[in-house]
Each structure stands twice: as structure tokens, then as C-alpha cells.
Structure 1
């Protein structure tokens, strides 16, 4: 029977590796020391297999992905160092066991064979979310197989059940296993970091590290997605799967370090197994998830509520909702263009709108574009009825655009942007995750319009009133 020997939280900044950091790694000295300690701890336990849960492999909104090739390779070529290359063997017996166990629980798994990699346009190499922690393990312990898993953008309950499926497969197998939850914490700790500062960044990091310190798997597994989303993290889902894996055990935890020298939170911790547990935490996580969504629904304003009811009515009845007569006056008389966004488990599920009013009033705009966002966004399949209870909505009301002479009049945290050259026109809303510079905002808008950066184009900016 296989055993879980221990588990770990690690960050994955390539800058920690000296050849890449070129001295910058010393600014994260506590993290560096902790990664070395994790390497030594794994060497002491001598696992035959290491499972690494990463955010940066082939990412799907409706499934987890798992590598199915026997030989796994990767390098840091994307970070300027292709000579830093690594090769590991996959534990295919356990991999197939995880797939089977997960499918039995109704969890979708993308089995990334060579053909699947080609189909989805990925190279099949190990990503830095896997390679950075294994770089430090490999210094101390080399005789192990690897199973890389990329989490899907699924709900906390689904992530927990997937973790339980992994644990069941390990127990049904024959290898001793260590598990690494690879993920950075908030990317919004400093205004000079990779993203704009958000007050939710430090709040998220403090709360998640405290939950780890206390070994509170319910807090980790049911952590509020809206806070995580605003914090701009990439490690929560790795931890939530890990919480599922560990949920049938008594555990002790030891936080090794926490710091954020580059504006991104790096946390390291060791989870040790202290015996089996009778606790059943799935019900508590499910209850938290329901309560969180119910609380959000209670806080909906009239615009967001109309957006939700419009899409729900169309999906269930196949026709547009009639404009309710009891709406606030602003929805019945005022005319503004809107964009409606629909999210599932914190990830975009659809977004469509217009830059000019197309209906008699704001209420009709919201009804129409809610349905369009849920059924006509070419990036996503149409929303199904069984998804409706898991969705959240936001409505962006666009103010009248005004021309600007050059980039100095733009600010992506305040203004949306419209670029135009003849009939080609591209729009980008303000305050979007990952769009923190004027240059990035213009690049995306120009790309959407099919306008080259060297062409002569006009720029307009606009403010947005966001309802969510």
C-alpha cells in the first residue's frame, strides 16, 4: 500500500535560481533558505514519487490536466537559460490510478499525451511551477519519479474531491509519495511589483499563511474566492487540492518562511502526517461555498440582479426576459452602453457588450448583453443550466468616451481605452487583472482591432461605473 510521507507549500519564482537571479535571489534569502530545507527534508524521507501541483502547465477551465508521457523534460529557456535543463521519469502506474480514481468521482481529467499537447498547442515541457521546487529537491534527493498536475479552474468542492481522489490512488498504489503544492501568493503586495497594489493582497497572504500555520484545512479548502481573485494569486487552488489530499489525516504544519521582496508573496511550509483522521471536512467546505455565493447574491444591486435573472431566464426558457416594470428609474429611462461579464469559480465564463447604446434604455441593454455574454462569447461554449448556480456577474456601464492626444492621458486603472483606424476599432475596459501599464493596455486594444502599433490611430478614453 502506498503512503503519503509529507507535503509542502513552495513558491516558484525562477529568480531563486542563481544562474537566473544573478544575485537577485539574495533579496529573497528567507525563501531561498527554506527551499533548501525542503530539499533536505524530502531527502530524509526518500519518496519514490513526487507529485507537483502547478498553476502553469496546460490550464483548462473545466478539467485538471496531468502529463501522460513516460519521459518528462523541461528547461528555463523562457527565462534566458535553456542550459538549465531537467529530465525526470513519470510514474505512469500512479498517474493512471489518479486518472481512474478521479473519473470515478466525476472529476474531468485532461490526459496530456503527445497528441493532446499537439492538439492544444502546448509543447509538453515541464513548466517553471514544477521545475523551480524540483531544482532544490534535486540537489539533495535524485532517485524519484515525478507526476506533474496542473489544476483546473474549478470550484473549491471539486478541488477538494480531486485531492481525495489523488489520496485514494496513492493508497491503492505501492509507492511512498511526497506532494508539493507549487504556487505564489498575492502578486499585488507593492505598487512597484508586477501588478498594481491591492489592499486584498496583504490580507490574503496573512490569512492563508495563518491557516497553514494552524493546519486549518477547512479554511484553506473553503477560502473565499472573491478575496483570492482580488489579491491576484496563483497558489490557492494548489493548496486546496493539497487540503483534499490531507483531509483524511491528522497533520502538523511548520511554516518555514514568508516574504514578498518583489511584490509577490512567497510562502513555504512543511505538512507532516501524524496519523489518520475521522474528520469529514467536505461538508464544511460545501457549506462555506454555498454561504459565500448566497451572501454575494444578497448584495447584488439592481443592475447585477437583472443581469443574472436575464441569463437564467434565457437558459431555462429559451427566450429573453421581459423588462420588469418595478426596476429603478435609471434602468427604465437612461441610455448607456454596457459590458456584462459572467464568471465561474472566479474565472471568466463570458463577456460581451457595446461601446454605444443599442437599446431604448439601460435595462434592455443589460438583458440583451447578459444573454450574449452567456451564450455568444466565441471564447467559451454556451453556459448550461447546471452551471447557473455557480455563476457571478458584473455590469460595466460605460460613460461617454473622450479623445486624448497621446498616452499621457491614459491610466489603465481608471480609464478604458478605444483605439480606431478607419473601420477597425478595439476596446479594453479599465482595471483588468494583469493590465497595469498604458503600454500593455494599448497593445491589447490594438491587437483586438487588428491595428499595427506603427500605424496612425486615434485614441479615446472612457470611465466605467462597475457594478458587481
Structure 2
């Protein structure tokens, strides 16, 4: 079997990685255990490449930003400890995804830096990629930043194009929707407190348990702004990649131990 053979929704809070948790390793222990289980499943899938949808990489307004450098590297620092990571980019798969999306009339920006290839062709890995990949097999990556905003219609179409490119690649491909959820759970957090945070995260967990990822596209814009999630856009791409009629979602855990929500779910296809 080729195409998308592993998929998940995974968070990216730095303290999920035990070495970055400082004196409180128990803070995100439930999420850490879930990511370890997802990583085990990904390794069992014998992946050739991993596609990561991140909200925190290089953004291009109104376009799907896709890394087409030779490699990517970055670091995450927390509690005086630094986690570094470098990955090669599966440029053949990245370009196939871009071409499939463009053929469907979607706007895609393919990004590189400095030189077309070689050691200087290197874009940064953001924490939205590094944290979930820390638990995953070391395979070449394709990193994509979906556009934000209230126009959610293109995201499912992009997911369908992505899945088509993965199938046609002849490779076994993993897909991570890197998502933290509402960021207004705690008054001491950088975005303050809003009661919408608990309501939105509850609605997300319920929709995930039903396998109804498309429900996230129906959230009112004010509701989203008050709760401040960063997972809607990546999840809707995942929804397009694994259609509802062939989708099963297993929610492994949800917690909000600080100001933002953390959810882990495995998404499998029955097709």
C-alpha cells in the first residue's frame, strides 16, 4: 500500500518533550504518552516520508507555503535546554504536492533559500514541526504552512490534492496536522482568559470523536478569535486528505495544563 498510511493530529507545546519540561515533567505527561504511542504507530507504518502541516513556519498570505529546500533545520529552547533537529526534504514529493494543488486551481508558494541546492539550501524548522517530529521516525519531510484567515474552503481541496500526490508517488507517507488548540484558557497566559476557550476545545474534541473534522469549518469567526486556536487550518487539510466516508478518528488524549489546549488523535483510513 502506498499513499497516506499514517495520519494524526498532534500538538507542539515544548514541554511535551520531557527534556524541555524543566522541573515539572508531569505537566504534559498525558500528551507525552499519547505522542509516544503515535510515534510507535508511525514507525510500524514503515514510512518513506512525513508531511507536516504547521501553523508556525514561513507564511505567505492567502497561499499554501510549501518548503522546497534541500534540508531544514531548527531548534527549540525551554528551561535552559535546547532541542535541535535537521531533516532532509523529500523535494520530489513536495513538488508533486505543489503541482497537484496548482492543477486544482489552488495558490501555492514553493519556498527555498539562498541556493537551489546544496548546503545553503536550508529553511528553518519551527517548533510546530520539531516537537511532534521528535517522537516520529527519522525520514525525509515535506513541511507545509496552510494559510490562516476565515476562508476555509481551499483547505479540504488542498488535502485532496495532497493525498492524490502521495498515492501517485508510490511512497508510504505519513501526515501530521500539528495543532495546539485554544490559547485563552488562563488569565496569566499571553492572550488572557476567555470562556470561549473551553467551549471551542470541547466542540473540537466532540467533532474528533465523531470523525467529523469538517465541523471545524462551521465555527463562527468571533468564536475563533476569542478562543485563539491554531489548529483549524491544518485539521481541515487533513479532512480533505482522508475523506469522511473512509475516516476513523481515535482521540488518545486532551488536556489544557497551561493556557493552551493539547489534543492527540490518530486518523486512519478504511479505504
TM over 0.5: yes
User: Take 2:215 and 2:124, find their aligned partners in 1: how far apart are those partners?
Assistant: 33
- Who is 2:11 aligned against? 11
Q: How does 1:242-253 map to 2 (within 5 A)?
A: 242-247=238-243, 250-253=246-249
Q: How does 1:67-466 map to 2 (within 5 A)?
A: 67-77=67-77, 80-82=80-82, 84-115=83-114, 124-137=123-136, 141-142=137-138, 144-154=139-149, 155-247=151-243, 250-275=246-271
The answer to whether the 8 A contact 1:156-1:222 is kept is no
User: Take 1:225 and 1:246, find their aligned partners in 2: how far apart are those partners?
Assistant: 25
Report how far residue 19 of structure 1 moved: 2.6
Q: CA RMSD in A?
A: 2.1
- Who is 2:119 aligned against? none
Higher relative contact order (CA 8 A, sep 6+): 2
User: Take 2:202 and 2:185, find their aligned partners in 1: how far apart are those partners?
Assistant: 11
Report how far residue 71 of structure 1 moved: 1.7
User: Take 1:188 and 1:64, find their aligned partners in 2: how far apart are those partners?
Assistant: 27
- Who is 1:324 aligned against? none
Q: How does 1:60-71 map to 2 (within 5 A)?
A: 60-71=60-71
User: Take 2:233 and 2:62, find their aligned partners in 1: how far apart are those partners?
Assistant: 14
Report how far residue 25 of structure 1 moved: 3.3
Q: Secondary structure at the match of 1:26?
A: coil
Q: Secondary structure at the match of 1:96?
A: helix
The answer to whether the 8 A contact 2:3-2:168 is kept is no
Report how far residue 248 of structure 1 moved: 6.6
Q: Map Cα deviations across residues 22-75 of structure 1 (whole Å, 9 max, x no partner).
A: 132311111111111111111111211111100000112211111111222122
Q: Map Cα deviations across residues 110-152 of structure 1 (whole Å, 9 max, x no partner).
A: 2111149xxxxxx821000000000111xxx33x211111111
- Normalized against structure 2, the TM-score is what? 0.91
Cα 1:113–1:47, aligned 2, differ >3 Å: closer, same or farther? same
Report how far residue 183 of structure 1 moved: 1.2
**Is there any run of 5+ residues in structure 2 with no aligned partner, and where?**
116-121
- Who is 1:34 aligned against? 34
The answer to whether the 8 A contact 2:209-2:250 is kept is yes
Cα 1:244–1:15, aligned 2, differ >3 Å: closer, same or farther? same
Q: Map Cα deviations across residues 286-326 of structure 1 (whole Å, 9 max, x no partner).
A: xxxxxxxxxxxxxxxxxxxxxxxxxxxxxxxxxxxxxxxxx
User: Take 1:6 and 1:249, find their aligned partners in 2: how far apart are those partners?
Assistant: 17
User: Take 1:81 and 1:126, find their aligned partners in 2: how far apart are those partners?
Assistant: 17
The answer to whether the 8 A contact 2:51-2:173 is kept is yes
User: Take 1:35 and 1:269, find their aligned partners in 2: how far apart are those partners?
Assistant: 9
The answer to whether the 8 A contact 1:217-1:247 is kept is no
Q: Secondary structure at the match of 2:134?
A: helix
The answer to whether the 8 A contact 1:60-1:153 is kept is no
Report how far residue 233 of structure 1 moved: 1.0
Report how far residue 190 of structure 1 moved: 2.0
Q: Secondary structure at the match of 1:269?
A: strand
The answer to whether the 8 A contact 1:48-1:177 is kept is yes
The answer to whether the 8 A contact 1:221-1:240 is kept is yes
Cα 1:187–1:34, aligned 2, differ >3 Å: closer, same or farther? same
User: Take 1:132 and 1:243, find their aligned partners in 2: how far apart are those partners?
Assistant: 22
User: Take 2:190 and 2:123, find their aligned partners in 1: how far apart are those partners?
Assistant: 27
